[in-house]
Amino acid sequence: MAKIVVDPITRIEGHLRIEAELEGGTIKDAWSSSTMYRGIEKILKGRDPRDAWYWTQRFCGVCTTVHSIASIRAVENALKLKVPPNAELIRNIIIGIQNVHDHVIHFYHLHALDWVDITSALQADPGRTAALAASVSDWPKNSATHFKAVQEKLKAFVGTGRLGPFANAYWGHPAYRLPPEANLMATAHYLEALEWQKEIIKIHAILGSKNPHPQTFLVGGMSIPVDPDSQNALNADKLITVKRLLAKAQQFVEQVYIPDLLAVASFYKDWAAIGAGVGNYMSYGDLPDPVSGNLWFPAGIVRNRDLAKLLPVEQQKVAEFVDHSWYEYQQAGAGKGLHPWDGETEAKYTGPKPPYEYLDTSAKYSWVKAPRYDEAPMEVGPLARVLVAYVAGHKETKAAVEMVLAKLGVGPAALFSTLGRTAARGIDALLNARQTPVYLEMLIDNIGKGDYRIHANEKWDPREWPAEASGYGWHEAPRGALGHWIRIKDQKIYNYQAVVPTTWNASPRDGKGQRGPYEAALVGTPIAKADQPLEILRTIHSFDPCLACAVH
């Protein structure tokens, strides 16, 4: 049977290849492969554990922050360190805004063009576009003059013939359904989101000294001094700027992202029955309370789409398999996984020599390992985070989910889909945008009381460490459950393994032949035109892939 090959999948971070078998206009089976090897885990061996966050940041060019967080948490867990409230609060603000920033960019710049036909925006009536926009939001920029100006800009841009990122899309494809006015509205917000994101990420520049790759992380706390009156510290001026930017972030999510998401989704409700995936969802939870340590986003597992039951997550049940990945395990034979403390990254490429038509998917076919929880594949990401919180009865999540479901006129089962994944990312952005300012107020309050502590001030000296220690650090990154596992021996890194959101989602088959989440989600997807598989992009992009992270 002929296969459709999409390689590389564009508008993602990294190298992803999908091979899909088509039968009667529907995907019968699919395989997900990363064609790029990294190996940073090996570079970490023998180094100072306090430096690991700095190296792991380089796993990715998008979610640099998240690997610092997971890494310092892993070392702190191994050394049994508790960080002071100011450090936890600054980390929570960094985490929250990373999620908001990342989700907005994903929606507009990496995913929207799967649903929005920019070329059709040229036919829109700006007055009717303004009326449509006013019916969904009171965002002040939405006016006929603004939409007309965007349309003119777009016309001039198309006229140059140099389409840049818009050159290779499936414009005019029959699966595009938005009327020209909705396309123009979304295009205008695509451009606004570009401006917005460069402002919002200044929060990382203030709290982390720069972005990407913020520099103020530290095992045991943060390295940014806190003092309201000092020029060289996180002072009153900087806190006020962060407050202003957080408000701007929240306003954009509430008045632009969510209304656009709902407007676009209302034309694609059939996608609430496509792209379901493996049906197991895992979240590690995040945003610890600075005093109690309780997580604002709860941790848990939903198995087999059962919204009546939440299972706990136990770190010892995570293992990675390489039966279909280009690695060789020394400690485990076929069909056996390794827990990350014992994990290995020994590359052995056995795939075809390029150029090749197809991979041999009955053998090893990807650089992504296959992580499994209790031997089952898990989907991670905003959908998992939202489902777990929803089942846990998390008040704010329940309210946001119910608002979105009511506006779309669908039930909770609609969440198990490509559309549900995209909607959950919006919900997650909204929750983070509203919760992050709470941490800023707590931080201001704490500093106001004269608490300037930012570091645990203990165990910085490796001579205070035990001869051997093991730890793990969990974090809910934009793309989902991120875990770093470390073993320390004689003050040095003995072993280091990261099990990353996209490793879970992009995973190939395991030893039992179970599909990974991308692969499972593609099965059953209708394809209108085999030579323009827009539908594959929709489902794969709905996970927001990052292959640099996945293979690290």
Applying CB under 6 A, which residues contact ligand NFC?
13, 60, 62-63, 66, 477-479, 482, 500-502, 546, 548-550
* Residue 85, C-beta contacts closer than 8 angstroms, at least 6 positions apart: 290, 291, 442, 446, 451, 453
Nearer to ligand NFC, 90 or 549 (CB): 549
Cα separation, 445 vs 430, whole angstroms: 24
Q: What's the token pair of residue 21?
A: 């078998």
Nearer to ligand NFC, 38 or 189 (CB): 38
**DSSP H or E run through 56:** helix 52-56
Nearer to ligand NFC, 67 or 515 (CB): 67
Cα separation, 407 vs 221, whole angstroms: 42
Nearer to ligand NFC, 98 or 151 (CB): 98
Q: How far is the CB of 482 from ligand NFC (least distance, A)?
A: 4
Q: How far is the CB of 546 from ligand NFC (least distance, A)?
A: 3
Q: Are 352 and 360 in contact (CB under 8 A)?
A: yes
Q: Are 97 and 203 in contact (CB under 8 A)?
A: yes
Cα separation, 65 vs 63, whole angstroms: 6
Side chain identity, residue 261: L
Tokens 């099965």 locate to: 523
Cα separation, 372 vs 512, whole angstroms: 11
First to last CA, the chain: 33
Q: What's the token pair of residue 161?
A: 């013939």
Nearer to ligand NFC, 55 or 176 (CB): 55
Q: How far is the CB of 371 from ligand NFC (least distance, A)?
A: 12
Q: How far is the CB of 548 from ligand NFC (least distance, A)?
A: 5
Nearer to ligand NFC, 13 or 286 (CB): 13
Q: How far is the CB of 503 from ligand NFC (least distance, A)?
A: 7
Q: How far is the CB of 480 from ligand NFC (least distance, A)?
A: 7
Nearer to ligand NFC, 103 or 364 (CB): 103
Nearer to ligand NFC, 124 or 500 (CB): 500
Side chain identity, residue 398: K
CA 135 to chain centre: 30
Q: How far is the CB of 330 from ligand NFC (least distance, A)?
A: 26
Q: How far is the CB of 59 from ligand NFC (least distance, A)?
A: 7
Cα separation, 33 vs 321, whole angstroms: 15
**DSSP H or E run through 168:** none
